[in-house]
């Protein structure tokens, strides 16, 4: 496998941008990534386009990438449309990395764009609800509430199990949201940039016991793009960032341990020849606040039932020794599904370049991104882990 370098990254602001559209946001993220890479669009040899839910939001069910990119210089190139729910962007990155690492192309683009807001909020929630086995869901519950995401009920159930075994409390989860808003206040591209307090989070509207609204990732629109190239930079004017490994797995057939995030992480560590203790900064799939704490354990940052310690001790806050979601995570940067996995890479690249300003993890040399997607049984349907380093 050849060395794969991140030549450029780009991201739109995340937030509610009703009517802006997948195309406009994709164009903006592409332009930003090309500018960052100081590259002409013609050098890109293959495009991996991530979008999870447009079919149910706008009716653009197929050829989403070709439609979004039709007015760019990418037309004519191979454009591969991929989906893996919340891990769609990570899947695009995985394929782009594979194409470059294996020598198929010299330059590959992974790009994700998602418009989730819709004039009718029920349309958005219905789209989210497709991230499970739809047939099973319909058979189990023909009276499912349509005014909220089925996912938060799933996360809530996982959280209650986790609380029982670990002793974690709603206060711990609120601390995750507080930490997340604090980080996002330092990220101009984030959706929620106003700091909050534990009390505010705990007293907010209950979505699904014990998850209050600020413990749940919001609906967002946005796009992100990552350009990968083969080999080292010829004249590095800034610190070069490399993809050390990328692992993608699906849930086990029985949907039980080891959950797919654990298997994806173990695979990525092994291929990169490192372990959890080598990671300086991470971006993880905090679709709900408790999920981040569980992921500390899945990724090996903490032992079983010890994830809460990291947040209680401030280890994973901006300024801590292992900042997690310094860009704000899904909770506060926002979660435009197909773009999320690539926004993680944008943040970690910025961190490894030492360009993250007030939210910089000083001396960051190795970073990890984890993204899960969908749900099958008791596990996510898919998980992807990417390890980057300078």
Closest contact distance (angstroms) between CB of 191 and a copy of itself is 21
Q: How far apart are CA 259 and CA 383, in angstroms?
A: 9
Using CB under 8 A, which residues numbered 41 to 80 contact a copy of itself? 52-53, 55-56, 58-64, 66-67, 70-80
Spatial contact of 164 and 307, defined as CB atoms under 8 Å apart: no
The residues with which 282 forms a beta bridge, in sequence order, are 324, 368
How many residues in the shown chain lie near a copy of itself by CB under 8 A? Answer: 62
Stretch that binds a copy of itself, among 9-17, 125-133, 148-156, 220-228 (CB under 8 A): 125-133
| 118 a catalytic residue | no
Q: Can residue 109 be called a binding residue for a copy of itself (CB under 8 A)?
A: no
Q: Which is nearer to a copy of itself, 256 or 358 (CB)?
A: 256
Of 6, 38, 22, 232, the residue nearest 116 (C-alpha) = 22
Give me the catalytic one of 94, 118, 335, 371: 335
- Our CA angle for 202, 203, 208, nearest 5°, is 70
Q: Please report whether residue 387 would count as binding a copy of itself according to CB under 8 A.
A: no
Applying CB under 8 A, among 158, 179, 244, 263 the residue interacting with a copy of itself is 263
Residues 6+ apart with CB under 8 A from 83: 50, 51, 52, 91, 338
Is residue 98 within the footprint of a copy of itself (CB under 8 A)?
Answer: yes
Among 11, 28, 81, 217, binds a copy of itself (CB under 8 A): 81
Distances (CA, A) of 181 to 107, 114, 193, 302: 35, 22, 6, 23
Q: How far apart are the C-alpha atoms of 301 and 328, rounded to whole Å?
A: 19
Q: Is 309 within 8 Å of 293 (Cβ atoms)?
A: no
Check residue 3 for interaction with a copy of itself (CB under 8 A). Answer: no
Which residues would be at the binding site for a copy of itself (CB under 8 A)? 21, 23, 52-53, 55-56, 58-64, 66-67, 70-85, 88, 91, 94-95, 98-99, 102-104, 126-127, 129-135, 248-253, 260, 263, 373-374, 376, 381-382
- Residues acting as catalytic residues: 86, 335
């Amino acid at each position: 496998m050849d060395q794969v370098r991140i030549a450029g990254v780009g991201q739109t602001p995340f937030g509610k941008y009703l009517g802006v559209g997948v195309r406009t946001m994709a164009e903006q993220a592409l332009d930003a990534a090309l500018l960052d890479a100081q590259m002409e669009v013609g050098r890109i040899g293959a495009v991996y386009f991530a979008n999870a839910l447009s079919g149910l939001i706008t009716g653009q069910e197929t050829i989403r990438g070709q439609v979004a990119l039709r007015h760019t210089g990418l037309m004519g190139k191979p454009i591969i449309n991929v989906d893996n729910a919340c891990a769609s962007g990570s899947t695009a990155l995985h394929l782009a990395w594979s194409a470059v690492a294996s020598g198929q192309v010299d330059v590959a683009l992974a790009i994700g764009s998602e418009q989730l807001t819709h004039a009718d909020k029920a349309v958005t929630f219905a789209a989210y609800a497709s991230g499970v086995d739809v047939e099973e869901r319909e058979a189990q519950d023909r009276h499912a509430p349509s005014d909220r995401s089925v996912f938060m009920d799933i996360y809530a159930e996982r959280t209650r199990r986790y609380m029982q075994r670990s002793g974690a409390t709603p206060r711990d989860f609120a601390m995750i949201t507080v930490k997340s808003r604090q980080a996002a206040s330092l990220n101009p591209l984030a959706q929620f940039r106003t700091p909050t307090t534990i009390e505010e989070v705990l007293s907010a509207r209950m979505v699904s016991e014990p998850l209050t609204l600020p413990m749940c990732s919001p609906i967002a629109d946005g796009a992100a793009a990552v350009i990968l190239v083969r080999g080292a930079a010829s004249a590095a004017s800034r610190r070069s960032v490399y993809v050390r490994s990328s692992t993608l797995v699906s849930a086990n057939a029985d949907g039980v341990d080891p959950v797919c995030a654990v298997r994806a992480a173990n695979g990525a560590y092994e291929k990169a020849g490192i372990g959890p203790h080598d990671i300086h900064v991470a971006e993880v799939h905090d679709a709900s606040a408790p999920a981040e704490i569980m992921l500390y354990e899945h990724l090996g940052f903490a032992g079983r039932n010890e994830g809460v310690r990291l947040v209680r001790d401030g280890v994973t806050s901006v300024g801590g020794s292992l900042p997690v979601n310094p860009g704000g995570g899904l909770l506060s940067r926002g979660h435009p599904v197909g773009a999320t996995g690539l926004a993680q890479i944008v943040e970690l690249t910025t961190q490894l370049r030492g360009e993250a300003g007030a939210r910089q993890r000083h001396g960051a040399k190795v970073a990890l991104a984890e993204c899960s997607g969908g749900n099958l049984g008791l596990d996510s349907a898919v998980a992807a882990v990417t390890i980057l380093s300078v």
